[in-house]
Structures are given as structure tokens and as C-alpha cells.
Chains A and B, each alone.
Chain A
Amino acid sequence: MLRLYLRSLFAPPVSEPPPEPDPRALDELARALAQRARHRLGRSLAIRQVDAGSCNGCELEIHALDSAVYALERHGIRFVASPKHADVLLVTGPVTRNMAFALQRAFDCTPPPRWVVAAGDCACGCGVFAPSYALAGEDGAVERVIPVDLHIRGCPPTPLDLLRGLLALLEAADGRIAPAAGVPPRTG
């Protein structure tokens, strides 16, 4: 027991060096920024995760991201318990019809400026469960229900994929990148 405490106090940090933000995500965000007033969030993001129908695989990777290994808080990114405290809704899963209204409510409770990140192939509308009668808009893409600013693909996206996307979001929110013109919308 004592050894665990001592090791926790004196061992070097286990956290990974941060990755570069994902260039594709930067492009997509630049486009999103060009479409509306830029708000400065400062170098801090409060994230509210909403599982709108996932298989729970995406949640596992978000949990991993929230562990000591990735040490999110050093980037100013933290998970919060209420959408009312959030800048970002991080939405997973194909949105089920049974969850669509709850997702809409969570979005309505999130004060602007707010960002919506669709995390995982399912949330992007191209997961294995689509098409289905039980999914919003048959494919379960998050944008069937609320507007999306950033897509992070993967089944599930790895913690590094997620971190790259979120870092890109921070950069964008911080006004470091110029709005790009003519970035084609992502399909699929």
C-alpha cells in the first residue's frame, strides 16, 4: 500500500507527449468557423460527453483519454457533468430514435458558443448499424439531430485520434487558424 502511494508521489509522469492536432480536423473546423462568429473560449474546453446510442466501444476510448496516460487536463480539456457547464458536446453512437430527443435537450441546455463533435464512425453516420428503423434519419448521424462542427472517424477512434481532434478544436477556438475557403464538405 505504502509503495503504491510513494510511487504515485515520486514516479516520473506516465503521460504521453501530446500529438499534433489533426490537419484534416483543422480544415473542417476552419470551415465551421468561417460560417459563424468566432468566440474565444480561451485555452480551455469543458466537454460533456453524450452517448446517443453507441455500442460503448467509443466510451471506452474516451475513458482511456481521461486517464493519467493522456492527462487531458494539462491541455485545459476536462469532462464536466452537465451540458450547462460545457463548451463542447462530444457525441457518440448512431443516434437512436429513442435517444434523439434527449440529445436535442442536451444541446439546448448547452450555452452558446457551443461546439458539437461527432466521435466514431457511428456518430458520423457510417457505422455498422445503419441503416435501421431504430436510428435517427435511418443512419444515426449526429447531424440528423443537431449541427456538427467536427467529425472524428474510427471504430472506435483511438484516444490519440480523439485528442488530435480536440486539440484542433482548441486551436480553432483560440483563433490561431484562418478560416479556409473551399474546403469540401466531408462525406460518408
Chain B
Amino acid sequence: MDPLLSRLAGLSPEPDHRPWPRYRVDVGLWLRLREDLAAGRLDLLAEFAEPEEVHAVLFRPSPPGLAVASLPCPDGRFPALAALHLPAVRFERAIRDLVGLEPEGLPDRRPWLDHGRWPLTRPLASAPGPAADAADYPFLPVEGEGLHQIPVGPIHAGIIEPGHFRFTAAGETVVRLEERLGWVHKGIEARLRGTGIDDAARIVARVSGDSTVAWSWAFARAVEAACGVEPPPRAEWLRALLLELERLANHIGDIGAICNDAAFRLIHAHCGILRERVRRATAELTGHRFAMDRVVPGGVRIDPDAAALARLRRLADELGPAFEEIVAAYDDTPSLLDRTAGTGRLDPALARRFAAGGHVGRASGRAFDSRAQLAPSPYDALGFSPALREAGDVDARVWVRIDEVRESLRLIAAILDGLPGGPVRVEVPRRAGCGLGIAESFRGEVLVWLRLDAEGRVVRCHPRDPSWLQWPLLEAAIEGNIVADFPLCNKSFNCSYSGHDL
């Protein structure tokens, strides 16, 4: 019998949690679930806490199943999943920083998001603590002959988000990379408490601006699940249309940026032009270049007419051949492939262990795409096939993006051809409840857990970016590569700093 069901069988799920079940578990069961995680029988998609309770979002790969396990922590502590399952380390460090619950047995007890610069501590606890002193952050010690360290950041040389990377190198070769994140922590989860659904939607839409449509959709799904409403079919299809446009723009931009980091500017320039065309088409369709705030709980805020859809259809038809020229240029340039093939290889076993989503997982053989496994509507009607590669290197991550661009173009055409008519939005009633929403951003699945009170205000909302499970893998993928290839590896992952730092 499968672990998720056998462990949780006999428990009755909490009545107010949708669409997947949530179970209150005791410490014994929590520890057995931890063993399932450690043995690879379950994946940990998210772990977060409320002042009285810690929640783990568990995924069973096959057949796909999902459940939330909640462990009450009346004395403020809980057994750390990270004691056996390392992917939980950063989740639990963040829980300590933000909620103040103590994960017992956590192997790394350094603060993570809290850099000692806030006017308080434990901002999500029932009673936050007084400000702490900004203490020096102890990086992990390294010993060995001829090793040197290169600290980089938080501000980097390019137009990118801030983070700190500490390389330990032997000559040119990276022996270890240690990341320190949290610089762009904006206090999103505390900000969300007490907001109404509309304000909360605008905030969650900006957890990571590059995946705004995915975030809005996941949030909308969480609200709709909590309140028990279904969006109209036309709205679902339009959401998918916007999501695929977002994926196109980001993947095309990333392919260009990866080539740029391999000193091949021509592809970068052409990708920049294509991406701009997608952004303009999005603006024409929605009035915003990223379609921010167009996907809302209950449906969408756009209702394009036939002429607008026809223009988009023409663009989709033109983009295909232009993109194939770029693909041919990538595939025909040995000096470029020389930089990407074999570089930054992520071991498939690690990708599975960390439940890495998006191109990071799918380029290392992890066949997971929430459009196929968890949130199929309307993709089941469109005949969707996820990308998959095995090599795990920069090149494989480029090819997953290429395959996904092709698939997005096909999906866009299919959506435009089959778009159902009817209303685009339904009323969302105000009622108390809990919902979990998932949408597949270009980076991987974004997940929103939400608890609403009877007035429809947010009691707790946890947005989990796919980057949480990808950032630690970048540390592994860069090992043994030369320092100069770090930008290339980093770009091929393209994790979000903002989405992670919250």
C-alpha cells in the first residue's frame, strides 16, 4: 500500500481544507512520515508554520497524490524533518526565524531570513520578540591546502537580484559554494495577514514578478478552493493562455541570457527581440505587459474579442519559425555547446530527493509537471506533454526550455482555436476555509496555502516558490566546475531571490 494513504488511513481529514486533504497528525505519525521522506517514498513540497502548528505538504509521485500533514506544537517545538531529510533544512530555519517554533534536531541552526536587522524577531509568532543584534553570520568552515574563498554579493555586477555567494576554490575549481539568501525579505507573509482577498491577490501576484500569472492563478485556486467556487471554463482557458505567454517570454529570455553568459551575444539579442514581442502581445491582450492582476479569484479580468485573439494567433504562428532559427543557431555552434554541455551537472538522484520542480528537475530526469499531475484543468483537454531530459547539465536545462517553448506555442494555438465562450468571472462568496492552490510557473510549481476567516480576510497565507527546492541544488551542481562558469550555471537554474526570500 502506498505510504501516503497507509500512514494517513484511518484519520479523518480536516473538514475545511480543499481540494487536497489535510490531516492532524501526532508526533509518532510525523516521525513515520519523516522516514518516508528520508526513504524517498514521499516528496516534501513545502513546510511552514502557524504559531500553534507546523504544516508539511507531502506529495506521492505515483500515482500522484497530495496531502497536508499538520502537527500541533503546544510547547513550541517539533521534531525537525531536516534531521533525516535535508531538503527541509531551509524551510525549518525559516520557521525558526519567522514563527519562532523550535525544530528539534535541525542540523543547521543558523538564522536564515533574519539577518538581525529587523526591529523585531519572530514576526509571525503570536507575540513577536524584541529586536536582535546583527551578529556576524558564521559561514561553514573549510579546511584544506591551497583553498581560497571568494565572497560575492549581495549586490552583483549585472541587472539581477541580490544574494551572497561564498565560493571556496582550489585554483579555478569550485570546491564548495555556500549561498546566503534573505536579502530581499519584504515581510510578505506578515503583510498578508488581515488583508482582504483583493489586496492579498495583488501582493501574492508580486511574490516573484517574473511569474506573476502563475502566482495569481495559484492564489485564485486557493481562494476558490477555500470558498467552494469553480471558475467558468472560459476563464480557465484564458488563464492558461496568459500562463503560456508568461512561460514563453521567460524561457526565451532565459535561453538568450544563458547564451550571453557563454559569451554568445547574437542569440541573446534575437531572444530579446522575440521576448519583447511576447510582452507587447500580452500588453495588447490585457493592458499590462506581464498581465499582472488579470487573473483574479473567481476568474479573469479580461475578455478579449475575436480580433484580439486573431492577432495573437498570427503572432504565435510567426514566433515558431523565428524561434526555430534561434534553436538551430544554438545547436550548430560547437563553441557554445562546449560551454553548456557537461557544465553544472545536477545528479538526478539529488533532483528527486529535493523534489526539484521546473526545468531544474525535468532536465535531471524528474518527470514532474503540475500541469500534468496536480492541476490538469484545462491542460487535460489540450493534450499536454511535459518536457523531460536526463543529462542534468546546462545544455539539458536549455533543451527543456526549448521543448517547453515549442509546447507553449502549440498550447497557445490550441487554446485560441478551442476557447469556450461564456462568462469569465464568478462571484466569490465570503466564507471561512482553507485552500491550497498550485500553478506551474516557468520555473516550476508555485504553491499557495491559505486560511480565510468568515469575513474573507487572510488569517495565514504561505506562498512557496519553487526556488526553495532549487537553490540548494545549485550549490551541488557547481561543485567541480570553474568559478567562471558560475554565471552560466546560475542562469540555467534562474532561481528567484524574491520568491524565496519572501
Contacts and interface: CB of A to CB of B under 8 A. Distances in A.
Interface of A: 1, 3-5, 7-8, 14, 49-64, 66-69, 79, 81-82, 93-94, 96-102, 106, 127-129, 131-135, 140, 155-156, 158
B117 A98 contact: yes
B203 A129 contact: yes
B154 interface: yes
Nearest to B277: A69
Contacts of A100: 117
Contacts of B203: 128-129
A8 B191 contact: no
Interface in B153-173: 154-155, 157-162
A156 B78 CA distance: 41
Contacts of B158: 81
Given A57-B212, A60-B209, A99 B159 contact: no
10 contacts: A60-B290, A63-B272, A64-B279, A68-B269, A96-B186, A128-B202, A129-B191, A133-B119, A134-B187, A135-B186
A140 B183 CA distance: 13
Contacts of A140: 186
B345 to A, nearest CB: 26
Contacts of A82: 157
A67 B333 CA distance: 22
A7 to B, nearest CB: 8
Interface in B110-126: 115, 117-120, 123
Q: Which 10 A-B pairs have the closest CB atoms?
A: A57-B209, A67-B272, A134-B187, A132-B187, A81-B157, A55-B209, A1-B332, A55-B206, A97-B117, A129-B186
Given A55-B498, A133-B118, A134-B118, A102 B162 contact: yes
A64 B275 contact: yes
Nearest to B115: A98
A133 to B, nearest CB: 5
B200 to A, nearest CB: 10
A88 B463 CA distance: 35
Contacts of B326: 4
A56 B332 contact: no
B108 interface: no
B208 A63 contact: no
A129 B206 contact: yes
Kindly state the interface size class of chain B when it binds its partner.
Answer: 35 or more
B179 interface: no
Contacts of B270: 4, 8
Nearest to A136: B117
A42 to B, nearest CB: 23
A93 B188 CA distance: 13
Contacts of A156: 209, 290
B292 interface: yes
A59 B161 contact: yes
Interface of B: 115, 117-120, 123, 154-155, 157-162, 182-188, 190-191, 199, 202-203, 206-210, 212, 253, 266, 269-270, 272-273, 275-276, 279, 289-290, 292, 325-326, 328-329, 332-333, 496-498
A128 to B, nearest CB: 5
B160 A57 contact: no
Contacts of A49: 159
B184 A93 contact: yes
Given A51-B184, A54-B184, A62 B159 contact: yes
B498 A135 contact: no
Contacts of B292: 57, 155
Contact of B328 (A1, A8, A98): A1
Contacts of B199: 128
B157 A67 contact: no
Nearest to B153: A102
A68 B120 CA distance: 46
A98 B149 CA distance: 23
Contacts of B160: 51, 59
Q: Which of B115, B160, B187, B289 has the most CB of A within 10 A?
A: B187
Contacts of B187: 129, 132-135
Nearest to B200: A128
Given A8-B270, A66-B159, A68-B273, A99 B184 contact: yes
A100 B155 CA distance: 11
Contact of B183 (A5, A68, A98): A98
Given A56-B210, A81-B157, A129-B191, A134 B266 contact: no
A67 B273 CA distance: 7
B272 A133 contact: no
Contact of A56 (B115, B279, B498): B498
Nearest to B293: A155
Nearest to B199: A128
Given A56-B210, A63-B253, A135-B186, A51 B161 contact: yes
Nearest to B184: A53
